[in-house]
Structure 1
Amino acid sequence: MKKRKLPLKTVYYFSFLCFIVIPILIVLLIALFILNKQFKRQAIENIKQAQETVITKLQSDIDVMSMRLSHLINTNNSEILAYAAETDTFDYSRRYEYEQKLQQAGNLALEPVKDIISVEFYMKDGSGRISKMK
């Protein structure tokens, strides 16, 4: 059996392809795969941190607003609840009078910071009364 000899140009291109191009492509693909994994992991961490920040901020806002609403309702021996209860009448002049008192008491209770725009009180019969704080 006689070995077949390849031309020098073919051997050169074959060697170049096998020893230079293919290893570079393999290293490049492995590097891209590793970078892709790291980018995904970093993106997931960033999303989790953003979610934790939002959760913390919302929890803080809920706590502050709960305290503000509690303060609004419980000031002066539940004066605001008494005014809200008196607005549940068919006498329009009396309703208007107590709506004005309710609005004044609400504005007074919310004076330092007016984050609360309006409050809705639900009566036992299911109807609602909205008091807008100015």
Structure 2
Amino acid sequence: MVLILIIVGIAIYGYFKAIPGAQNKEGNLPKIEISPESFDFGEIDYGQIVKQSFIIKNIGEEVLEIKRVATSCACTTAKAAQEIISPGQKTELLVTYDSGAMSGSHGRGDQDRIIYIKSNDPINPQIEVTISSYVK
């Protein structure tokens, strides 16, 4: 009888170790943090190219993987310096905005762009950063 209980206990333990997410949801997970969460370039000239660095940090306890970085407009590019971030480490996200990429009245005035960052953080699988400017 004791042997059966030991075997069942080992089987249950193995089951929970083998299934991702079966452990404590707040426990050993990657966790993404970005700073700043937004940036305003202020007033810029039409055709001006501006850049801003953001810091992506892994404040979790497992490796953070940046799976994809995308932007809301072809006038904006974003690239993470590293795609794999160890716990407690950080990397730079460089965002470049080309205010001359949009023609006509669409490219002038108040402009807001979004950068989408997808990762393996199970709580926040996608975060967003906003850049803004006034193009004259």
TM-score computed with the length of structure 2 as normaliser: 0.30
- Give the helix-richer structure, 1 or 2: 1
- Give the strand-richer structure, 1 or 2: 2
Structure showing greater relative contact order (alpha-carbon pairs closer than 8 Å, 6 or more residues apart): 2
TM-score computed with the length of structure 1 as normaliser: 0.30
